[in-house]
Structure 1
Amino acid sequence: MKKIFLLPILLLTVFSCSSDSSSTPNPVEEAMYFPPNDGSTTWETKTIATLGWNQSAVQPLLDYLELKHSKSFIILVNGRMVMENYFNGHSATTPWYWASAGKTLTSTMTGIAQQDGLLNINDKVSDYIGTDWTNETLAQENLITCKNLLSMTSGIDDYVNGVYSDDVTPSSLNYKADAGTRWAYSNVYVKLQDVIANAAGQTWSTYFNTKLRDKLGMTGSWIQSGNNTIYWSTTRSMARFGLMALNKGKWNGTQVVNEAYFTQATTTSQNINLSYGYLWWLNGKASYHLPQTQVQFNGSLIATAPSDMFMALGKNDQKIYVIPSKKMVVIRMGDAADSENLALSDFDETLWTKIAALYQ
């Protein structure tokens, strides 16, 4: 049975079409809210009714989320909590993994390290971690910049012996194409964490906690899982990061990562996969590529979602959706909605049909 933390609904008096529309606040014009960083559970709320949304669309959305193995779901508008729902024994204090949605944490930390003067994303990776970090020739390796890792254009083969690989030991990082000429979704981006740690003279976790996690009032930690280090946190911590992203790197008046970098990170980063920035996925572009394939697909990643949306997407349908035009952040954590997947699935299309029914 699902636990539902649906905010209380205020009953509205029904007005004629000619009545004063000021009774329903415009969420775009309302001041942005940031929850306090004091460890409290305080978070301002907004009701479905006061937004003028469709209450009858709430239960179909919740039913679908539960059916599709969700553990948690949050909607923020202007930073205020509109829906907060937990399913299948999960709770507000239970941590869950971000999977590849956490790539956007690494992207953000790269921007922070650059603004701290520790690195330049246009420098080659070997400037920071030394040579022979791949199985390529020195000339091939020296073509790979930090920006190539951010944009998934390292040219390193995403397959090893015909099998998709997330191994980042040097023997598994083999040449496939010159850096910048091929887009391939690959775990090699994680080398940016080594770049940042070496440049900062600190462990990755220490620098991350000081420069990002603690500034946003997040909780959570990096946990080793096979060849990956995965971030685990509560759903509210993921929502805090999404709220910073909505505000282009700013948190409650403090610019955590500079806006110019964050704008670059959430804009097409190369001309191969138009729907990819710096480890962020981008909606509304003319075409896209997906993990484990070189096929180009025409159209928007999620046709049922707003075209200005950008996303952090992780294995088994971990989601941060950020929609600037609606001042909105949507979070979903859980098990795979259907079959196991690295980022996108048919779940996104149907989920957004049901989310859009709230406000259309």
Structure 2
Amino acid sequence: MKPIFLSLLSVLAFLSCGSDDATPTPTETMYFPPIGSSAWETKSLQSLNWNPSAVQPLLDYLELKHSKSFIVLVNGRIVMENYFNGHSATTGWYWASAGKTLTSTMTGIAEQEGFLNTNNKVSDYIGAGWTSAPIAKENLITCKNLLSMNSGLNDALGDDVAPANLQYTADAGTRWAYHNVYVKLQDVVAAATNQTFDAYFNAKLRNKIGMEGSWFQSGFNTVYWSTSRSMARFGLLMLNKGKWQNDQIVNETYFNKATTTSQNINQSYGYLWWLNGKSSYHLPQSQFQFTGSIIPSGPNDMYMALGKNDQKIYVIPSKKMVIIRMGDAADAVNPALSDFDDVLWQKINALYQ
């Protein structure tokens, strides 16, 4: 699902990211909710010295902006968990493009198990002719290019990833463009592991961290559907650099590559993760370079899974925090990233003041 972004982000004022009051003490251990149980430890607002008067304005804004769920974890423990408009902890919802980060993680797992090498060309795994580009140009496209969104394929032809719709525009690595072609990585993983992507995902990621949910086909996209708590479990895994308790699900080397700038064109993009706090950024459907951070009021070290209709995973290492937002589009334009993010973070920051 290709999000549409608002250019007004480029003129938003830089705002304070708040104090470090929400950061747990160094002696507090990271908590992981048990597998196969609804039990989940909580942490009080008072213990974090949060401002209780800022809670209701935040919740009012979330409800006004068509949210269905909002979860805040600090060091793995639930600090806030709120549901709106008939949604509940057991209700499923779609991740939209926030699920790209699941595909990125599975690519890393398949690489660490020796099934693939992200430096290899895509056609090594799914055969030649998967695009309509000249074969010499197709052979330039590596798995890493799909992870980094710099395949060089035309991003203006819609989400269909049939060969006829994957047309050459520039050499791989020379042009950044948000493109649904990343889904071919699911075919790469399936071919390399000799099993369905769903089966490999369930065995190597979902079941190991206690997620629920499943993949379904929506148009030309494969979309993940789960509860908000399952999304929070994945966010917690990524806060802990790919490790769940004592089990390193995806190795830290790959995790670090995924959550840092992956190419020299869009500073704010890793391996299917958006990165805050960089000096510049590109947005989908535009070759324009914006100056400054994507979400000016958000923490500079935050990395993000962002999906259509404002599905969000925010991971903030400096605060040991994960924030989940699921719901309908905050505004009529249906962006994955908009001024909603910046205003939301202003209200989150007010919790720490």
Both proteins in one fold, TM over 0.5: yes
1:131 corresponds to which letter in structure 2?
Answer: A
Unmatched 5+ stretches in structure 1: 1-23
Q: 2:101 aligns with which of 104, 124, 134?
A: 104
Aligned length, in residue pairs: 332
- Counterpart-to-counterpart distance in 2, 1:340 and 1:46: 36
Aligned to 1:218: 211
Deviation at 1:342, TM superposition (A): 4.7
Deviation at 1:343, TM superposition (A): 2.4
**Contact residue 121 and residue 147 of structure 1 kept, 8 A:** yes
Aligned to 2:324: 331
**Contact residue 315 and residue 340 of structure 1 kept, 8 A:** no
- Counterpart-to-counterpart distance in 1, 2:346 and 2:172: 38
**Contact residue 291 and residue 342 of structure 1 kept, 8 A:** no
Structure 1 counterpart SS, 2:47: coil
> Over residues 218-277 of structure 1, what are the superposed CA-to-partner deviations in whole Å (9 max), with x where a residue is unaligned?
000001111111000000000000000000000011100000100010000001000000
Matched, 1:284 2:277: yes
Q: 2:179 aligns with which of 186, 189, 210?
A: 186
> Over residues 6-47 of structure 1, what are the superposed CA-to-partner deviations in whole Å (9 max), with x where a residue is unaligned?
xxxxxxxxxxxxxxxxxx99614211000000x221000001
Deviation at 1:339, TM superposition (A): 2.5
Aligned to 1:116: 113
- Counterpart-to-counterpart distance in 2, 1:120 and 1:137: 23
1:34 corresponds to which letter in structure 2?
Answer: F
2:79 corresponds to which letter in structure 1?
Answer: V
Matched, 1:252 2:245: yes
Structure 1 counterpart SS, 2:48: coil
- Counterpart-to-counterpart distance in 2, 1:114 and 1:341: 35
Deviation at 1:52, TM superposition (A): 0.7
Aligned to 2:30: 32
Q: 2:268 aligns with which of 257, 262, 275?
A: 275
Structure 2 counterpart SS, 1:325: helix
Matched, 1:229 2:225: no
Aligned to 2:14: none
**Contact residue 22 and residue 50 of structure 2 kept, 8 A:** no
**Contact residue 34 and residue 251 of structure 1 kept, 8 A:** yes
- Counterpart-to-counterpart distance in 2, 1:300 and 1:72: 26
Residues 336 and 274 (structure 1 numbering): CA distance in 2 closer, same or farther, change over 3 Å?
same
- Counterpart-to-counterpart distance in 1, 2:245 and 2:334: 35
**Contact residue 96 and residue 233 of structure 1 kept, 8 A:** yes
Q: How does 1:1-360 map to 2 (within 5 A)?
A: 27-29=24-26, 30-37=28-35, 39-160=36-157, 165-360=158-353
Deviation at 1:340, TM superposition (A): 3.4
Aligned to 2:12: none
**Contact residue 329 and residue 335 of structure 2 kept, 8 A:** no
> Over residues 269-301 of structure 1, what are the superposed CA-to-partner deviations in whole Å (9 max), with x where a residue is unaligned?
001000000000000000001111111100000
**Contact residue 97 and residue 231 of structure 1 kept, 8 A:** yes
State the 4+ residue runs in structure 1 displaced beyond 3 angstroms.
none
> Over residues 69-111 of structure 1, what are the superposed CA-to-partner deviations in whole Å (9 max), with x where a residue is unaligned?
0000000000000000000011100100000000000000000
Unmatched 5+ stretches in structure 2: 1-20
- Counterpart-to-counterpart distance in 2, 1:84 and 1:276: 29
- Counterpart-to-counterpart distance in 2, 1:341 and 1:249: 31
Structure 2 counterpart SS, 1:50: helix
2:180 corresponds to which letter in structure 1?
Answer: N
Structure 1 counterpart SS, 2:305: strand
- Counterpart-to-counterpart distance in 2, 1:226 and 1:66: 29
Identity of aligned residues (%): 74
- Counterpart-to-counterpart distance in 2, 1:205 and 1:309: 29
Residues 207 and 26 (structure 1 numbering): CA distance in 2 closer, same or farther, change over 3 Å?
closer
Aligned to 1:8: none
TM-score when normalising by structure 1: 0.91
Deviation at 1:174, TM superposition (A): 0.4
**Contact residue 22 and residue 319 of structure 2 kept, 8 A:** no
TM-score when normalising by structure 2: 0.93
Residues 269 and 278 (structure 1 numbering): CA distance in 2 closer, same or farther, change over 3 Å?
same
> Over residues 134-167 of structure 1, what are the superposed CA-to-partner deviations in whole Å (9 max), with x where a residue is unaligned?
010100100000000000000000012xxxx111
Indicate the structure whose relative CO is greater, using CA pairs within 8 Å and at least 6 residues apart: 2
- Counterpart-to-counterpart distance in 1, 2:22 and 2:93: 34
